């Protein structure tokens, strides 16, 4: 795939505390290809009819639905976690999206976690929607880490058919995004492009402002014919003004377009098609 066929979308989480309506307006005006709707980030995001009107007005598609699985959205669309995922798939179908992003269960959701891997496979088969399980991270406290997710915060440890790579989460987990993408392999269907500095906080920086190899990842994905969606999911809630929020959104989009480019067969291009495994070995990514 090329930059012309892979969609670069904007998550409504990137404009918070502005609304989902603002996300559509900004995405359309700044030149994004679509929107990812994180359900529950604001009341409008839960109203599928209202989102469809935004799609029609701005002529901008919904690329993905982010299921309401954050701590702050535990009561959005009910309290049954499977019911939330089923409703997310219905929303994706109604809005023409092909991906539902979902986090692994919290450890205290024991019944949900026990059958999660099999349940995700069942939902994909029943709905025809991709459920891309997102990489998370251990919650870090002084002197120890809390394993808050089950069966694992790292989706590569399970047998999911599809995964989402979030660069800020990789940073918090002290992982390298290029290595993680190589481990995800053909399951990688969705990217939350952002950045981090390795802090215990989930930073969601503008890509290029942290220490993750965001530019390298984009070049590798372009060279390996990645055909999923790339979604800008940054934190702009501390932006002092709308204009400064727009600067961050424009910079993120420009960064993605600049680096998601297939290279010619040069030494640097050949180097970008290699990834370092967790064991320290260098392996060539499948072409």
Residue 276 has pLDDT above 60, yes or no: no
What are the residue ranges of helices labelled H in the chain?
Answer: 20-30, 48-58, 81-95, 110-114, 116-127, 167-172, 177-184, 214-223, 242-259, 267-272
DSSP assignment string, 86-117: HHHHHHHHHHT--EEEEPPPBTT-HHHHHTHH
Residue 267 has pLDDT above 80, yes or no: no
In a domain, 155, yes or no: yes
CATH of the domain at 109: 3.20.20.150
Q: Average pLDDT, stretch 281-287?
A: 34
Q: Average pLDDT, stretch 74-103?
A: 96
Band (104; pLDDT cuts 50, 70, 90): very high
Q: Average pLDDT, stretch 101-124?
A: 97
pLDDT digits (tens, 9 = 90+) for 228-243: 999 999 999 999 999 9
The count of structural domains within the chain is 1
Residue 220 corresponds to which tokens in the numbers above? Answer: 């590798």
In a domain, 2, yes or no: no
DSSP state of 240: S
In the block, residue with structure tokens 């906080």 = 201
Cα–Cα dist 179/162, whole Å: 17
Q: Average pLDDT, stretch 24-36?
A: 98
What does the longest C-alpha to C-alpha distance in the chain come to? Answer: 53
Q: Average pLDDT, stretch 23-37?
A: 98
Whole-prediction pTM: 0.90
Percent of the chain with pLDDT strictly greater than 90? 84
Could you tell me the end-to-end alpha-carbon distance of the chain, in angstroms, rounded to an integer?
12
Residues 6+ apart with CB under 8 A from 252: 14, 193, 206, 207, 232, 234
Residue 127 has pLDDT above 50, yes or no: yes
For residue 285, which of 237, 214, 234, 217 has the smallest C-alpha distance?
217
In a domain, 3, yes or no: no
Residue range(s) defining the domain that contains residue 30: 8-284
Q: Average pLDDT, stretch 167-189?
A: 98
More confident residue, 2 or 89: 89
Residues 6+ apart with CB under 8 A from 126: none
């Amino acid at each position: 795939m090329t930059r012309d066929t892979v969609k670069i979308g904007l998550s409504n989480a990137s404009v918070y505390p502005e609304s989902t309506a603002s996300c559509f307006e900004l995405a359309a005006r700044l030149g994004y290809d679509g929107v990812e709707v994180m359900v529950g980030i604001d009341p409008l995001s839960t109203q599928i009819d209202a989102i469809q009107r935004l799609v029609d007005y701005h002529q901008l598609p919904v690329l993905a639905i982010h299921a309401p699985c954050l701590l702050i959205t535990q009561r959005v669309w009910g309290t049954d976690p499977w019911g939330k995922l089923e409703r997310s798939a219905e929303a994706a179908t109604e809005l023409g999206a092909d991906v539902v992003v979902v986090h692994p269960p919290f450890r205290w959701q024991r019944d949900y976690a026990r059958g999660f891997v099999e349940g995700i496979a069942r939902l994909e088969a029943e709905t025809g929607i991709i459920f891309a399980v997102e990489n998370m991270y251990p919650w870090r406290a002084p002197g120890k880490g809390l394993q808050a997710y089950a069966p694992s915060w790292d989706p590569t440890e399970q047998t999911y058919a599809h995964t989402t790579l979030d660069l800020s989460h990789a940073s918090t987990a002290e992982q390298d995004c290029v290595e993680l993408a190589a481990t995800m392999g053909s399951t990688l269907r969705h990217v939350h492009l952002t950045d981090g500095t390795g802090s215990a906080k989930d930073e969601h920086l503008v890509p290029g402002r942290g220490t993750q190899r965001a530019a390298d990842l984009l070049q590798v994905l372009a060279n390996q014919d990645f055909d999923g969606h790339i979604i800008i999911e940054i934190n702009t809630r501390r932006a002092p003004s709308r204009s400064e929020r727009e600067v961050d959104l424009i910079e993120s989009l420009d960064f993605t377009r600049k680096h998601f480019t297939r290279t010619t067969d040069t030494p640097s291009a050949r180097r970008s098609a290699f990834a370092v495994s967790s064991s320290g070995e260098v392996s060539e990514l499948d072409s």
